[in-house]
Amino acid sequence: MKDGKLLLVQEAKRKFHGMYSLPSGHVDKDENIFDAAIRETKEETGLDIKLTGVVAIHNLTHRKDGNHYICFFFAAEIVGGKIAFDSNEIISVEFMEANKVLSIDAKQFRGKHKDVIKRVFEGNILPLCVIENYEMTLR
């Protein structure tokens, strides 16, 4: 969020071409989910963020291939950078007001991203401490 507007990207990749999405991606090996969210946002938008809360956690199983994903959605504030993106992955990066975002048909969003966005605008955000980040060694 910035000045009451939500940061959205429009996907360029074939599978989701033209769809709106929150900045997103995968966790790299030996990376925690917080660092992954910060890195992916920087890669997709050019912006530096500070995570401020947890909006949703989705348990997703793809019907076609059976792959299973756990998706974490965070609230964040912009702390630096400037908009820059790879046009092979992203068509546009835009800050949108609530009424504009909510007027876009849900089919134009990747997955359940519009449901997550509604939670943000309703203020349904949990503190980051609901997710504990720690390492452990198995015996």
pLDDT digits (tens, 9 = 90+) for 26-77: 999 999 999 999 999 999 999 999 999 999 999 988 878 888 989 999 999 9
Tokens 């709106």 locate to: 20
Number of folded domains that form the chain: 1
Q: Is residue 131 part of a domain?
A: no
> What pTM does this model have?
0.90
Task: Summarize the confidence of residues 82-95 as an average pLDDT.
Answer: 96
Tokens 């429009």 locate to: 10
Q: Is residue 99 part of a domain?
A: yes
Q: Is residue 103 part of a domain?
A: yes
Question: 72: which residues sit within 8 A by CB, 6+ positions away?
Answer: 33, 37, 54, 56, 57, 131
**Confidence grade of residue 117 (pLDDT, cut at 50, 70, 90):** very high
Q: Is residue 136 part of a domain?
A: no
Percent of the chain with pLDDT over 90: 81
Taking the CB of residue 48, how many other CB atoms lie within 10 A of it?
Answer: 15
Residue 45 maps to which CATH number?
A: 3.90.79.10
d(CA 87, CA 72): 25
Q: Is residue 49 part of a domain?
A: yes
Domain span at residue 35 reads 6-125
d(CA 94, CA 85): 11
Q: E strands along the chain, which residues? A: 6-11, 20-21, 47-61, 68-81, 90-96
Q: Is residue 139 part of a domain?
A: no
Query: Is residue 9 exposed (0-12), middle (13-18) or buried (19+ Cβ within 10 Å)?
Result: buried
Q: Is residue 133 part of a domain?
A: no
Q: What is the pLDDT of residue 133?
A: 79
